Structure formats: C-alpha cells, structure tokens
C-alpha cells in the first residue's frame, strides 16, 4: 500500500504495450505538483516506477512518455495496470 493520499489505479484488464499516458486535470496548489507514474502486471502490483514529472497546474492535456530503459522496445513497456500519484 502507498502512503500517499492522492493516487489512482487504472486497471487495463490485461497486459498491454504502453508508450505513455495522456492526462487532463488541474492541480489545486500554487505550483505544479510532483507526480509519479508506476506500472504493474495487475491492479495488485507489484509496482515499478517508470516516470517522475511535474503535473501541470492548469487544465491542459499533458502527455507523459514512459522511461523504461530495460524494456524490450525503447520507450515501451507491457503493463496490466497504471498507478498515478501526486505528492
């Protein structure tokens, strides 16, 4: 379990190849929030951190690519679930 109180899990139902994630949202703070993207084979994990980034502080689409240097294909990894959290 994560200690962070602002997290979402997206269950993809099966493992799929992922290149990135597009996010539309707004951060309720004075500055962009630190965000983390983790992937796992299912919604139960285990989780693997693949990207840290600054989430936008305004309502605009933001595309986050996956950093997976040890993935079979550069910038692509198979995952059955996505864990997204802000701190």
Give 20-47 pLDDT, tens digit per residue. 888 877 666 566 678 888 889 999 989 9
Beta bridge partners of 76: 73
- Please provide the size of the chain in residues: 87
pLDDT reading at 86 higher than 80 = no
Instruction: Based on DSSP, count helices (H) and strands (E) in the chain, helices before strands.
Output: 0, 6
Q: What share of the chain is helix, strand, coil (3-state, %, to 5)?
A: 0, 60, 40
Q: Report residue 60's pLDDT band, with 50, 70 and 90 as the boundaries.
A: confident
Residue 74: C-alpha distances to residues 1, 13, 67, 68 (Å): 29, 23, 8, 7
Pairing mode, strands 33-40 and 48-55:
antiparallel
């Amino acid at each position: 379990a994560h200690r962070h109180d602002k997290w979402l899990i997206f269950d993809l139902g099966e493992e799929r190849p992922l290149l990135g994630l597009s996010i539309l949202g707004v951060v309720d703070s004075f500055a962009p929030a630190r965000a983390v993207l983790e992937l796992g084979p299912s919604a139960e994990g285990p989780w693997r951190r693949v990207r840290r980034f600054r989430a936008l502080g305004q309502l605009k689409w933001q595309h986050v690519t996956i950093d997976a240097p040890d993935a079979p294909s550069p910038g692509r990894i198979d995952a059955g679930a996505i864990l997204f959290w802000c701190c």
